[in-house]
Homo-oligomer: A and B are copies of this chain.
Amino acid sequence: MAILLVNDDGIYAQGLSTLAKKLREKYEVIIVAPDREQSAVGHSITLADPLRIYEVEQNGNFFGYAVSGTPADCVKLAIRVILKHQPDLLISGINQGANVGASLIYSGTVSAATEGTMLLIPSIAVSLDTHRSDADYSTAVEITSRIAEKVLKYGLPGGIFLNVNVPNLTMENIKGFNITRQATTYFDDFFERRIDPQGRTYYWMSGTMVEVDRGEDSDLMALRHRYVSITPIRYDLTAKDKIPTIENWFKE
């Protein structure tokens, strides 16, 4: 079994190397990850610039391929240039920081799983609910490994991948697995206005996520209640149930 490992925090991220170490006990693991952090890049791909691939070592051994591009670029390059065979599974992560609600739209972690799904590879995006740089990934690694086994055993429905979020807790304190939906949230953006040394105005973007719904079946609430959230995600964006409404507009 061969697993393609991707992320958006970059090839030197701890969430990636900790997961790789565990998975390599049991599977062939190929790492293709951005050469630097690529958070909030959404489903960006690189068409206007050349892409480069570098071999990266860890403790004197070959570790993986770093790519001068986005998470989606990494998946495309892995499949079309680096790998000789289609992998059995793609795992994107483990991301530092939860990807729930509106975050999915901006997430490079999620975009790599979307790209894998479009290229017909069973895919999982995994995030740990903490922004601490010294986070302990051991619980998330264990849970990712279990979910990977399930996907390899059962497969995934066509056009669907799993978005997994793990609470930042030890295994004993996690209550179980909840199959969830994406929470309805949005970002209340704030732009901090500053003046540069040349006297010109610039802005820094930041934002806090506003929770519009508190449904118990959401990814956000599962995490908050100490459950691992697993959301089945589709990349077909059509709101099929709304087609008749719009059709009526043109009938008058």
Q: Which of A's residues lie within 8 Å of B, judged by CB?
A: 37, 39-48, 50-53, 72-73, 76-77, 79-81, 102, 104-106, 111, 114, 118-119, 150, 154, 157, 159-160, 162, 176-177, 179-182, 184, 186-187, 189-191, 193-194, 196, 200-206, 230-240, 242-243, 245-247, 249-250
Query: What's the minimum C-beta distance from A204 to chain B, rounded to whole angstroms?
Result: 6
Q: How far is the CA of A76 from the CA of B235 in the complex (A)?
A: 24
Asked if residues A189 and B243 are in contact (CB atoms below 8 Å), the reply is no
Contact residues of A: prevailing secondary structure: mixed
Q: A45-B106, A105-B114 are in contact. Are A51 and B242 (CB under 8 A)?
A: no
Which B residue's beta carbon lies closest to that of A243? B179
A203 to chain B: which residues have CB within 8 Å? 50-53, 77, 81
A52 to chain B, nearest CB (A): 5
Residues of B within 8 A of A46 (CB): 40, 205
Could you tell me if B236 and A232 are in contact, using CB atoms closer than 8 angstroms? no
